[in-house]
Each structure stands twice: as structure tokens, then as C-alpha cells.
Amino acid sequence: MHDILEAVANGPERLDKFLVRQFPDISRARFQKLIADGAVTVAGRVASDAGGKLKPGQPVRVAMPPPAPADPQPEEIALDIAFEDKHVVVINKPAGLVVHPAAGHEGGTLVNALLAHCGDSLSGIGGVKRPGIVHRLDKDTSGLLVVAKTDAAHQALSAQFAAHGRDGKLAREYLAFVWGVPDRPAGTIETGLGRSTTNRQKQAVSKRADARHAITHWQVEERYGTAASLVRCRLETGRTHQIRVHMAHIGHPLLGDGIYGASHRSAKARLSEGAQQALKALKGQALHAAVLGFEHPASGRALRFDAALPADLSYLQQELRLQSGIRKDT
């Protein structure tokens, strides 16, 4: 059964812009598709042109089809929720959880879990009843992730992530345990990133024309002798595996990273027995999305969330501190 949206034009205006202004929870792209599908009438006639001009007093009617069921199936998977309202949900994702279904991971993902958790509170993204994924974390990276529950929230958050924080709305900080100690306390890595020519599963620093611009700002938080460091990374861009590739590029790959840290496998010999056990217990690379800030897509309020290190990384930090004689409360 279709929901009916009705409004009356009060002046000359593009049809699609008028509809977005009247019903801001639905994206302009969605209205344009509805117009193309013949679901919108103006003064009783089916509208075919999203850019057609309305006249004052013309009634506009939209037959909204119910959101189509999502292809992934809902699954009851426990979630650590940092924040939730009718527009967005912020998740503290554990390492090991895949964000989106894909080949080899059709189930057991964050999307499956959100479909079960959110249920009818999902209003439909692009006409499909699904959560709006605007950014991702690698399977083996833990930390904060925001997901849209409505079409309008998805559009607004997507714009913020597309700006990569240059508009001051978005903040993303990661904690990374890396091999060795950088030769200065802070720095910026700016390169092109593209798919590796020798391994299609990897990204690599590249000067090819199709490489994507990537910027990572880093700062040393703790030094564990000469064996390892804790580095805070702030993203100015968000490319696949960006922090992992960039830290390896400057000679300090992440602990536990079997893809980009293979050259440092022998470095574990520099760790104490306790730190080696903690490294062995890691669920993935030693990377955690610790800070996420964004502008709420409906209220415009600035939101910021902080997530403490998960148990396996906290254990690693504790053992590295013991090895290097750092005395701090954990």
C-alpha cells in the first residue's frame, strides 16, 4: 500500500526542489526517481520532468511505495551502541566484524545486525529498507562508525564525509600501535594511493594518474623503548587501508598487520614475553577508531564520541608499558 504525500505550491519552483523542501526526510535523488517512475502528479496530471516549474496553487501528490526489503537478512548480533536517535546510530565496532555483506561474507555483518536492531525505524535509503553506510572500517579494525537511518540523514552525512573534514564538520582520529619510533614527534604523510600492481588485495603508495590523494596527520602518544610506539592518526582523507599503508610507507607498520607489516615479523623478538603474548592475542592489526565527530544531519548540532581501546589493545598497551617502564593507569 502506498503512502500519499500532498502539498500545494506557493510560487514558481522546480518540482524536485519543492518536494525536498516540503518533505526533507526524503532525498532529491529519491524524488527524481519517483517522478521518473510516474509516482508524482501535479494538478492531477502525471509529472515527467523533475525540473518542471510549478505554478502557485498547484496541488502536488506523491504516491510513496513502501521501502523494498533489503537483500541482506536481519541477524541478531550484539552491538555496542554509543548513540542512537531516529536519524543515526553510532556503533563501537569490534575487530572481526565485517561492515557490509560481500563475497565470502554474505551474513554475520554489521548491516545484518543493524537490520535486526533498527527494524521499522529504518525509513528506507533510496527506496530500500536498509541502513545507510557512509564510511567503513576494515574487518579487523575496531572503533566508531556512524550509520544513517533515513534517506535525508544519509545524504547529509555522505556530504560531510565527501568533504573529508575540510568544512570543519567531520573529525576522525585513530590510535595505532606501530613498530619502532618515528624520528620526530609528529608529522604529515601526503601521497597518492592506488591498488598494488603486485597484489590486488593491497593498496600502495602510487604516483599513477588514477591514484587517490591521501593525507594522514600523526602524532606520537607513547614510546615503548625503541621497539614500538602508540601513534594518534588524524585523517584528512579516508582511503582504503590509508593509515596502514601510510605508516608502513614511513617505516613504521602496525603491529599485527600481516599484510603491510610482513617486513617487521622478526621485530617481535624485541618485545618482552608478555608483550609477545599480547601481540599474539590481537584480533587484527593494532588499529582503533577512537574519535568520531560529525554534525548531526537533522539538528546541525556538533557531536563527538570517544571509544576506549578494546580489551586486546588495552592488554597490548599494558604489556608494552611494563616492558618500557611506563607507569600509567590503564
* Residues taking part in catalysis: 138
- Give the β-pairing of 88-93 and 81-84: antiparallel
Strand partners, 51: none
Distance CA 42, CA 262 (A): 63
| Residue 185 CB coordination number (10 Å) | 11
38, three cell numbers: 510516474
The closest of 113, 40, 110, 50 to 76, measured between CA atoms, is 113
